Structure 1
């Protein structure tokens, strides 16, 4: 429920967006059966012109929540935020994930209580490189290290940083008071979901209080910085595009 006079923390700017949960409207891309959810980030955010080059959305589990794969040229990462999902007889618990390469047909279902975060991105093939294979894993087993030597800012890498992968999905966990060491400005774009905690994000020339359940889109070259605040750690999961020629504007 929003506050009085149509208030919301959501902001959509030319090079970034903050999508707060108070404005979520149900709706999912095709292929998820009768599941409910909400599209958080998509190329439609800016009419496809200079906007996001991927989709990020939430899926709520329930009867009829079944998918069999994205479009033929699209890769997908599914991260279980809560509850469980079933992948062809295997159970995915909270903080488990699965990466599906393009063309990977499968059956993934999620019962009541499941909450999934999904990233869809067109795969950009490279001559001489085979696309990655399906990959499952867990946050608990992901390679994790202090970010630039800061043990209060731990970065977990879910997917291998290899040339065959043109996307990365990582989980950043900050102790209260920890921050990025400098304002980052880079060619990669981001899609981010706050898993827990709170803090302040600088996006462009603006500063936003953020909390669990918030979503952020950052365009390429959007100046960005974060500090964790409050009495508990803050954690977010985020996507970025990697390993491809920035001169290729076809995707």
Structure 2
């Protein structure tokens, strides 16, 4: 990657949002992973107090001996294969496949060379009267897909079931060039986002940012947000949000 000789970057980290561009990626080791080339894109250390992210988003480039057997205690994990093919307990996970792991699950996930995965993790919040879901695998191609608010130029695929047992949602949005979110969204959910393809402009707070494939975005709760796809190819991103839990976070009984 060509670097600027003047210390320039598109990366911005603000109190309620962040844009992390690939030009600033730094590889670091990870707890619960062996021989992973990982870049932590979003974590609670990014913010302060109530504005800090409540989840983690990171990317792993595989190696000949890269594998993981579990997340940290009480942490759920979703792994999405961006390119290449991973192996889960001997079964292949091809590009655009995913696996969701409930907290304290045990398995063998191998990420070989030429494979890149995106990972979302958060502390699972039990909900009274609902069981913790079992492990789930799937693919983008087989996931439910529908026009967003009736617009066939903005297609939304839902990877995880929209059920109270799940306290996270991970979706894939795809826009044709020139298509926009229909309004500036401002809501209680927070987001972690990764640009899978294409380019566009994302409004975050009161700023507008050019974004492209490989960029990551954090949006805090109530951060105003809007997107327009630009260029000659479809723009697509995968994103996380928190759902289905009491706003006051009262413990389950």
1:120 matched residue in structure 2 = 121
1:95 matched residue in structure 2 = 96
> What is the alpha-carbon distance in structure 2 between the residues aligned to residue 52 and residue 220 of structure 1?
9
Whether the aligned pair in 1 keeps the contact of 2:74 and 2:123 (CA below 8 Å) is: yes
Whether the aligned pair in 1 keeps the contact of 2:83 and 2:117 (CA below 8 Å) is: yes
Report matched runs for 1:115-194 at 5 Å: 115-194=116-195
Whether the aligned pair in 2 keeps the contact of 1:99 and 1:136 (CA below 8 Å) is: yes
1:17 matched residue in structure 2 = 18
Shift of 1:27: 1.1
> What is the alpha-carbon distance in structure 1 between the residues aligned to residue 92 and residue 12 of structure 2?
37
Whether the aligned pair in 1 keeps the contact of 2:29 and 2:35 (CA below 8 Å) is: no
Whether the aligned pair in 2 keeps the contact of 1:80 and 1:117 (CA below 8 Å) is: yes
Whether the aligned pair in 2 keeps the contact of 1:18 and 1:217 (CA below 8 Å) is: yes
Q: CA RMSD in A?
A: 1.2
TM-score (norm 2): 0.97
TM-score (norm 1): 0.97
Residue segments in structure 1 that go unaligned for 5+ positions in a row: none
2:238 matched residue in structure 1 = 237
Whether the aligned pair in 1 keeps the contact of 2:159 and 2:169 (CA below 8 Å) is: yes
> What is the alpha-carbon distance in structure 1 between the residues aligned to residue 193 and residue 29 of structure 2?
18
Whether the aligned pair in 2 keeps the contact of 1:35 and 1:63 (CA below 8 Å) is: no
Q: Which runs of 4+ in 1 moved over 3 A?
A: none
> What is the alpha-carbon distance in structure 2 between the residues aligned to residue 185 and residue 49 of structure 1?
17
1:205 matched residue in structure 2 = 206
Shift of 1:110: 1.0
Moved more, 2-11 or 75-84: 2-11
Residue segments in structure 2 that go unaligned for 5+ positions in a row: none
Shift of 1:32: 1.0
> What is the alpha-carbon distance in structure 1 between the residues aligned to residue 48 and residue 110 of structure 2?
31
- What whole-Å deviation, never above 9, does each CA across 1:31-87 have from its counterpart, x for those lacking one? 110111100000011256521000000000112211001012000000000000000
Whether the aligned pair in 1 keeps the contact of 2:101 and 2:136 (CA below 8 Å) is: yes
